[in-house]
Amino acid sequence: YRFNSAIVREPSRSVVDGLRAGGHAGPTYEGVKAEHDGYIEAMREAGVGVTVLPPLEAFPDSIFVEDPALVFTEGAILLRPGAASRIGEAAAIAPVLRNMFDTVLDLPGHGYVDGGDVLTTPNSVMIGLSARTDRAGAEALAGLIEKLGRKAKLVATPEGVLHFKTDCSLLDEETVLSTARLASTGVFEDFKQIIIPNGEEPAANALRVNDVLMVPSDHPRTLEMLDKLDYRIVPMKTAEIGRIDAGLSCLSLRW
Ligand code: CIR
């Protein structure tokens, strides 16, 4: 959770057509843009150098740069997103990563992985199988991660949850914040676990960056619980990006 650098991408006007499960209304461009501006500012205040990429009208979900790639200090990996409308996002971000990293690996084979399914922890990189990340993709990614000198572990994502990290985040080296439905799978038995109060599940996608813990606002019980644990909380507006099934981690690549 110690980061010097991050990449974000400005929302396109087409963000209003971002993918979403369920029939509710989408976000407004202005609403997403305001949340995105707040995010960049919070990142910079946390001491991160932020590279802001230009919007991509052809890809409504391209603001969620976490999904088409995975970055470590040792190098970057170009993934293959599991939604048809998002596959091209990997090629779009490739030149940027090749410019910034000495090592950029391509996911081999034909499987799919969304970066939102990947949780990097000090001892292992967890890859959640989901509707977006299939076993072929996860196994191919595990091979690359091991090449970069880290351990990889395939894990399950609860049914109906978009991404593994929709339901969890790393708070420090040994602590995860998780929904009860994910924690009950036993996946975090080697960690200290802080469980999200029932009904506030979207708050599980928090984001620890250096000394700051960004937490989706609108979740008072979670905010109160985390405040007591002495984290430096920065509440973040996420209602608009929440309309297209996204949270705080999806908005950046960090290393
Ligand atoms: C999608 O369905 O792909 C986008 N509307 C939301 C992606 C959220 N990304 C993430 O959780 N890493």
> Measuring from atom 1 of ligand 1, which residue has the nearest CA?
19
In 3-state terms, the chain is what percent helix, strand and coil (to 5)?
30, 25, 45
Positions in the chain short of pLDDT 70: none
| CA–CA distance, 216 with 63 (Å, rounded to integer) | 18
pLDDT of residue 23: 84
* Closest to 134 in 3D by CA, of 152, 109, 151: 109
> Measuring from atom 8 of ligand 1, which residue has the nearest CA?
246
Q: Could you tell me the two tokens for 80?
A: 């293959």
* Residue-wise pLDDT tens digits, 203-219: 999 999 999 999 999 99
All domains of the chain, ordered by start, with CATH? 5-249 (3.75.10.10)
Name the amino acid, one letter, at 84: A
pTM here is 0.97
Distance from residue 145's CA to the centre of ligand 1 (Å): 22
Which position has the token pair 């002495």? 230
Cβ of 116 less than 6 Å from ligand 1: yes
Distance from residue 244's CA to the centre of ligand 1 (Å): 7
Question: ipTM for the complex?
Answer: 0.97
